[in-house]
Structures are given as structure tokens and as C-alpha cells.
């Protein structure tokens, strides 16, 4: 094998050695586009398309009887998908349900676990978390008649890109009731040490939960064994469930029997739900955290996607992901060193499934990349996220992406674009 990693031949040899290369054929990719934005929206797989059409057909064939008939009866579909999703988060099947959205699930979890009392009135989070989480946290604090400026503790980042776990632990004081942190930071891709943070929180009597939006489908998890209290996530990024697909929610079994903060009829015990009693009999599992009728057609693609992940195994996905991002960074170091790029992501294995390039002309560069057939992701003020995805990105895709970026910089092609984001970045 040639040792010159900057050559096309080297990338092609890496692809020949890749045991997951066949799975690219499972996805709808375009020959004229290099898709590097799977950490924002994953591509459609043929299996996800098939499961969507299967559920659509059940509506066509059975009408209302689709709730209990067909290949995937709708009445139990959220629970079935939770069972399929559980291995990806390291949980028991009864601890995972697919329901709601990321933000609505966080509202549900905080409504349940945030009970300010006896001097514990504060929520601990970080300033690098996705803003929607912080909006929800502030809202829940306000609903208790408290002031978010006093009762939300935001841990600062020293470099604007990453967090230090010891700094987070230092802020786990006696007045903290709940902690909400990302498992992977959405900008820089830094992975937090969930084991260390959970252990520290529990030693201090604090409930702790994690946002898995940028880790589900990208890295393995061990939520149950670590004793993580709760977690929530979307399924349209690395998990390829489709735009706006239904989200996920995990609650450790030690909390089963606790009444959810928000109640709705789909949180009922399945055998009692259609009694339609004015007194609710909640599910004895995480199913209790559901609210209204599930969005069946928005859930449907996830069956095919989860089937695919369970066939491949999340450990193999992670192994290839690390190889892809390592290769991309090596190429960038060799090919783009003179153009002023730096990394906002960790360069070691404490990163997730994407890299984060920092450049003062980032918005312009992203627009130029799109013009040249590469789909990146811009994050203000100066970040470029690139996510080669294990199941549908090749090493040749990575090589070609860096070559196009090199041409853009060498020829100054980015200069014809405005250095500001579009309406959607």
C-alpha cells in the first residue's frame, strides 16, 4: 500500500479495505455531491424508505385497524422502536421510547425531575449547549416562579470550543437540583466523559441527564450501566430518520413509578388506555413519558434505519468514523496548512463524528464548498463542520472534499461570496 496519503490511490486503497463500504449502496447519494453534513441531517436509506412505504400501505389497507393490524401495528410502534434503539444508547428496552421532539422531551424530563426544594433550586448546564436546551431550561425555571438569571448556572468554556469536566464538577454545588449537559458538543464535537460526570453528580445527590443529539448513531453509549438518570435526543442526524422525525427519550428503570411531570393518554398502561377513565393508569415503563398520539408516518423511517444500525453494530460504525475523521484531518494538515485553518474539535478520540474547522472566512468558504458540490455546515461566527458518515461516506469522498477545499483556497474562489450566513446555516 502506498504511503503517500495525499494521493487518490491511497484513498481508493483505504476503501478497498473498508468492510462497511457495501452499505453506501443502501443510501441515496448523488454522484455530483459530496455530502458532509450528516451531523445535521442524515441521508435517506433504502430501508428507511421501505419502512415508510410499509406504514403508508398499512394505512391504505387497514384504515383505523392499522392500530392493531399489519406488519407494524401503530399502537405499539413507539415501544417497538424503543426496543430497537436501546442497544445504541446502552439501555434496557423498557427504558427507551421514541416520542416527541428533542425540546418537548426535555420539557417533559425537567417537568418530572426538576423539583426545586430544600435549598436545591438550580439547574447546571453549560454555555456551549445547543440553545434550544437552554431555552427549555429557562422556561422550566420560570414556570416555578424563579428567575433564570439566578437559578441557571452556565459553566464557561475557556477556549470557546470545549469544556473541562473538572470545571463542571466544581460547579456541582449543594444548591444544584438537576444537571443537563450534551454528550457531544454540537459545535466542536467534543465528547464529554459521561461516566465521570454521572458519578460525580450522584455522589452529590444530583440528578443528571444528557442531550445525545450529536452522539446517537455515532458512538456507543452505556446509559443504564453508568446509572444516567435521563437522556433525550433527535433521530435525524447520524441516525438518518428523516427531517423532523420523532425523537427519543430514556429514563433509568430506578425512576420507574415516578409520575411524569406532564401527563397524556399515550402514557397510559396499554391494557387500560382505552378504558378512557378520567383517572390515568400510567405505564410502568418509560412509556409513561409519552403524551399524545404518536406520529406514525414520522416514526416509520426509523424502523428501517434502526434495523440497519443493529445489523452493522455501533462499535463498527464508531471505528470507521474515527478512521474517516483521522484521515480528513491528516489531509487538511498536509494540504491546507498555509491557508489559516485551525481545529475547534479535539484531535484525539475524545471527538464525536465530525470535525470543526475554524477560519475567519468560514461563511464564504462554506458557500464556495456548496458551489463546488460539497455540502458542509456553517456555525457562526467562524466554524465549518464536516461530517464524513461511516455508513455512506467513503475515504475517496473525504479525499475529494479536501481537494476541492484546497482549490477553493488556492484560487480564492470563496472571495466572490458574502461572509455571512444564509437564513439556514
How far apart are alpha carbons 328 and 404 in whole angstroms? 13
Do 182 and 188 form a contact (C-beta atoms < 8 A)?
no
How far apart are alpha carbons 100 and 109 in whole angstroms? 12
- pLDDT, average across residues 201-225: 98
Q: Give the start-to-end residue ranges of the domains of the chain.
A: 8-32+313-416, 49-312
CATH number of 8-32+313-416: 3.90.1150.10
Do 350 and 190 form a contact (C-beta atoms < 8 A)?
yes
- pLDDT, average across residues 365-376: 98
CA dihedral of residues 395, 215, 242, 109 (deg, nearest 10): 180
Tens digit of pLDDT for each residue in 111-135? 999 999 989 999 999 999 999 999 9
Residues near 168 by beta carbon (within 8 Å), at least 6 away in sequence: 124, 126, 155, 181, 192, 197
Do 207 and 201 form a contact (C-beta atoms < 8 A)?
yes
Q: What band does 38 get if pLDDT is binned at 50, 70 and 90?
A: very high
How far apart are alpha carbons 284 and 258 in whole angstroms? 9
Residue entry with cell 478520540 = 349
Contacts from 164-173 at CB under 8 Å and sequence distance 24+? 165/192, 165/193, 165/196, 165/197, 168/124, 168/126, 168/192, 168/197, 169/196, 169/197, 169/200, 171/124, 172/124, 172/200, 172/201, 172/204, 172/206, 173/122, 173/204
For the chain, what is the mean pLDDT? 97
How far apart are alpha carbons 127 and 154 in whole angstroms? 5
How far apart are alpha carbons 34 and 373 in whole angstroms? 6
Terminal Cα-to-Cα distance of the chain (whole angstroms) = 39
- Per-residue confidence (pLDDT) for residue 306, from 0 to 100: 98
Tens digit of pLDDT for each residue in 268-313? 999 999 999 999 999 999 999 999 999 999 999 999 999 999 999 9
pLDDT at 138 over 80: yes
pLDDT at 412 over 60: yes
- Per-residue confidence (pLDDT) for residue 421, from 0 to 100: 80
Q: Which residues pair with 356 in a beta bridge?
A: 385
Query: Kindly report the CA angle at 9 between 401 and 385, in degrees rounded to 5?
Result: 20
> Exposed/middle/buried for 254, CB within 10 Å: 0-12, 13-18, 19+?
exposed
pLDDT at 327 over 70: yes
- Per-residue confidence (pLDDT) for residue 3, from 0 to 100: 63
How far apart are alpha carbons 157 and 160 in whole angstroms? 5
- Per-residue confidence (pLDDT) for residue 360, from 0 to 100: 96
pLDDT at 224 over 80: yes
Helix (H, G, I), strand (E, B) or coil at 386: strand
- Per-residue confidence (pLDDT) for residue 383, from 0 to 100: 97
Tens digit of pLDDT for each residue in 63-116? 999 999 999 999 999 999 999 999 999 999 999 999 999 999 999 999 999 999
- Per-residue confidence (pLDDT) for residue 2, from 0 to 100: 52
- pLDDT, average across residues 204-233: 98
Lowest mean pLDDT among 2-16, 50-64, 106-120: 2-16
Q: Indicate the CATH number of 49-312 among 3.30.70.940, 3.40.50.11890, 3.10.350.10, 3.40.640.10.
A: 3.40.640.10
pLDDT at 1 over 90: no
- Per-residue confidence (pLDDT) for residue 422, from 0 to 100: 82
pLDDT at 424 over 90: no
How much is the pTM? 0.96
pLDDT at 364 over 70: yes
CA dihedral of residues 277, 103, 242, 189 (deg, nearest 10): -150
How far apart are alpha carbons 285 and 180 in whole angstroms? 22
Q: Which residues are annotated as a binding site for pyridoxal 5'-phosphate?
A: 102-103, 130-133, 211, 214, 236, 265, 293
- Per-residue confidence (pLDDT) for residue 199, from 0 to 100: 98
How far apart are alpha carbons 305 and 238 in whole angstroms? 10
Q: Which residues are annotated as a binding site?
A: 102-103, 130-133, 211, 214, 236, 265, 293
- pLDDT, average across residues 25-53: 97
How far apart are alpha carbons 355 and 393 in whole angstroms? 14
- Per-residue confidence (pLDDT) for residue 181, from 0 to 100: 98
pLDDT at 242 over 80: yes
Amino acid at each position: 500500500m502506498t504511503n503517500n496519503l495525499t494521493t487518490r490511490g491511497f484513498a481508493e486503497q483505504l476503501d478497498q479495505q473498508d468492510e462497511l463500504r457495501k452499505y453506501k449502496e443502501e443510501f441515496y447519494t448523488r454522484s455530483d455531491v459530496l455530502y458532509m453534513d450528516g451531523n445535521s441531517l442524515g441521508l435517506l436509506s433504502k430501508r428507511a424508505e421501505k419502512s415508510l412505504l410499509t406504514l403508508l400501505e398499512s394505512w391504505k389497507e387497514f384504515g383505523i385497524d392499522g392500530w392493531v393490524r399489519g406488519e407494524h401495528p401503530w399502537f405499539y410502534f413507539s415501544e417497538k422502536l424503543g426496543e430497537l434503539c436501546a442497544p445504541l444508547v446502552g439501555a434496557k428496552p423498557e427504558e427507551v421510547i421514541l416520542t416527541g421532539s428533542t425540546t418537548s422531551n426535555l420539557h417533559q424530563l425537567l417537568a418530572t425531575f426538576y423539583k426545586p426544594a430544600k435549598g436545591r433550586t438550580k439547574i447546571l448546564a453549560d454555555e456551549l449547549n445547543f440553545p434550544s436546551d437552554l431555552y427549555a431550561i429557562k422556561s422550566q425555571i420560570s414556570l416555578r416562579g424563579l428567575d433564570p438569571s439566578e437559578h441557571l448556572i452556565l459553566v464557561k468554556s475557556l477556549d470557546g470550543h470545549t469544556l473541562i469536566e473538572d470545571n463542571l464538577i466544581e460547579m456541582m454545588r449543594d444548591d444544584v437540583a438537576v444537571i443537563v449537559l450534551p454528550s457531544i458538543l454540537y459545535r466542536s464535537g467534543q465528547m464529554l466523559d459521561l461516566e465521570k460526570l454521572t458519578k460525580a453528580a450522584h455522589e452529590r445527590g444530583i440528578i443528571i441527564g444528557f442531550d445525545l443529539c450529536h452522539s446517537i448513531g455515532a458512538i456507543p453509549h452505556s446509559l443504564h450501566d453508568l446509572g444516567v438518570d435521563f437522556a433525550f435526543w433527535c433521530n435525524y442526524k447520524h441516525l438518518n430518520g428523516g427531517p423532523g422525525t420523532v425523537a427519543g427519550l430514556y429514563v433509568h428503570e430506578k425512576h420507574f413509578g415516578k409520575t411524569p411531570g406532564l401527563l397524556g393518554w399515550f402514557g397510559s398502561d396499554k391494557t387500560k388506555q382505552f378504558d378512557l377513565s378520567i383517572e390515568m393508569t400510567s405505564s410502568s415503563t418509560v412509556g409513561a413519558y409519552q403524551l399524545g398520539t404518536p406520529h406514525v408516518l414520522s416514526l416509520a423511517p426509523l424502523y428501517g434505519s434502526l434495523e440497519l444500525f443493529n445489523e452493522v453494530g455501533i462499535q463498527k460504525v464508531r471505528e470507521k468514523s474515527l478512521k474517516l475523521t483521522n484521515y480528513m484531518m491528516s489531509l487538511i494538515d498536509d494540504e491546507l496548512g498555509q491557508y489559516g485553518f485551525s481545529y475547534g474539535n479535539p484531535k484525539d478520540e475524545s471527538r464525536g463524528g465530525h470535525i470543526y474547522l475554524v477560519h475567519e472566512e468560514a461563511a464564504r468558504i462554506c458557500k464556495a464548498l456548496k458551489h463546488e458540490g460539497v455540502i458542509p455546515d456553517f456555525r457562526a461566527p467562524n466554524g465549518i463542520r464536516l461530517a464524513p458518515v461511516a455508513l455512506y461516506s467513503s475515504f475517496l469522498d473525504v479525499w475529494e472534499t479536501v481537494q476541492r477545499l484546497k482549490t477553493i483556497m488556492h484560487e480564492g474562489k470563496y472571495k466572490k461570496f458574502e461572509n455571512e450566513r444564509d437564513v439556514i446555516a
